[in-house]
Amino acid sequence: MLIVSASLKKSGTGWLYNMLNDLLVAAGHEDSRALTARYGLDDVVKGANCHAHPRWPLIRRVLPLLRRGETLAVSTHSGPNPELLALMALGLAKATYLYRDPRDAALSILDHGERVRRVDADWEELASLEGVEDAARYIAALLPLYRRWSRVPGVLLLRYEDLLADTVGQLRRLARHLGLAVPEPTLAEVAGRYAKSKVAGEYDETSWGPEWNRLHFNKGVAGRYAEELSAAELAVCERHFGPYLRRMGYAS
């Protein structure tokens, strides 16, 4: 089985992926990072969060391991495509899509850009984001992917805010969707291992260490836009996000 953990950028991609991978291991599957190394997939599955584009170059490479009954989980910011949809129709793939309030995503991408500039990381795309208008335009360009994923039958939609508020409950939904037999105590253990109140304190804000790279937390706060954005900045967000705020259930 190929599991595609898709998401809107700055919605907790790395956080969810690590919990998902731990659920797979708890259910008796091999760690997806180890599986990637064993099958030599490092050129199409990248980094600690197994980031990939679920298109033909990846699918062609993973078909042999799927035929052997292996389960590989990858994360992505890409949209669904015909190759993946065909694999899902054959019962060889499942997908989830994680999203959050676009206004909070815009603030998080600004934090990320500031962090990039502070440590001189080579990420010019984000380093150029210096205001709410820039960030809103950046996030708005990604929102059509929400609509595409939400229209695919069988995709589990997850909200970052729900994942924060009830991590165990959302992991239970995830395990059920993927057909994983994970006991309740294990769900709680995985949720506790990655509790934001715990992991957010592990990172030195002046560094760009491996832990931050793996979980990608900036502040991870839900609803921060209400306190941090001015009326004028909220108007910018409404201009860029308005229809999606209503479609995604975030309209006030």
Asked whether the predicted pLDDT for residue 87 surpasses 80, the reply is yes
pLDDT tops 70 at residue 42: yes
Neighbour tally for 31: CB within 10 Å: 15
| 175 class by beta-carbon count within 10 Å (0-12 exposed, 13-18 middle, 19+ buried) | buried
Q: Tell me the average pLDDT across 46-50.
A: 92
Q: Which two tokens stand for residue 71?
A: 């389960």
* pLDDT tens-digit readout, 146-179: 999 999 999 999 999 999 999 999 999 999 999 9
Q: How confident is the model at residue 25 (pLDDT cuts 50, 70, 90)?
A: very high
Determine the pLDDT at residue 125.
67
Measured CA to CA, the distance from residue 31 to residue 143 in angstroms comes to: 31
What is the CATH class of 2-101+146-218?
Answer: alpha beta
Nearest to 191 by CA among 25, 5, 15, 24: 15
pLDDT classification of 222: cutoffs 50, 70, 90: confident
Task: Give the predicted TM-score (pTM) of the model.
Answer: 0.90
Domain boundaries, the chain: 2-101+146-218
